[in-house]
Homo-oligomer: A and B are copies of this chain.
Amino acid sequence: MYTKLINHIQDYVQLQESDLRLIENSFEMMSLQNKAYLLREGQTCRCLYFVAKGCLRMHFYTAAGVEQITQFAIENWWIADYAGFMRQTVSEHNIQAIEKSEILAINLHAYDALLEEVPALERYFRIMAQRALGASQYRLKQIYDMSKEDIYLHFRDSFPEFVQRVPQYMLASFLGLSPEYLSTLRKKHVR
């Protein structure tokens, strides 16, 4: 469990033996059932979450009351409402397990203390955030650049295994199209 996280960190920065204990003590380990919530709209996003196993989704409810998914997180991904986490303010997002999942969680207080004690992690989290920022820029470009049809085709070809993994209506929501339209696209583009 912790090994997954430690390994991931060590892909980016060097850790001392003594750091490992500090890291393990700073995170809370959580086992989640399918559909369990880590965060609900209106609550404070207290923690950053690392997915050791399973799959989470982040979503909110639109003005019309429809679930809108903005992000998935699978093994080795971090997820949080960053604005809400950093300022410890009310969140507009929900974070929920969509499979049985194993999660490591760290709250802001522990996070600040840990980064103080292990400067290498300051770098690790900077790199994580910058990478996520790059991915986010790329995603925004796609949204502006491509038709919904192209978005579907591109995603299907880029992440075929993930398309299998989640229900279609969630994929539709994440890609920003209606389940009905996704269905017609699937029919049009059978292989």
State the A residues within 8 Å of B (CB).
Answer: 60, 62-63, 68, 70-71, 81-86, 92-93, 115, 119, 122-123, 125-127, 129-141, 143-146, 176
CB distance from A133 to the nearest CB of B (A): 5
- Residue from A71, A81, A92, A133 whose CB has the most chain B CB atoms within 10 Å: A133
Chain B residues within 8 Å of A176, by CB: 143-144
Chain B residues within 8 Å of A145, by CB: 60, 62-63, 68
| Contact A134 B86, beta carbon cutoff 8 Å | yes
Across the interface, A129 reaches (CB within 8 A) one of B62, B84, B130, B144, namely B130
| Contact B132 A133, beta carbon cutoff 8 Å | yes
Chain B residues within 8 Å of A63, by CB: 145-146
CB distance from A42 to the nearest CB of B (A): 15
A22 and B146 CA atoms in complex are apart in Å by 44
A85 and B131 CA atoms in complex are apart in Å by 10
| Contact B134 A123, beta carbon cutoff 8 Å | no
Across the interface, A136 reaches (CB within 8 A) one of B92, B93, B126, B136, namely B136
CB distance from A41 to the nearest CB of B (A): 11
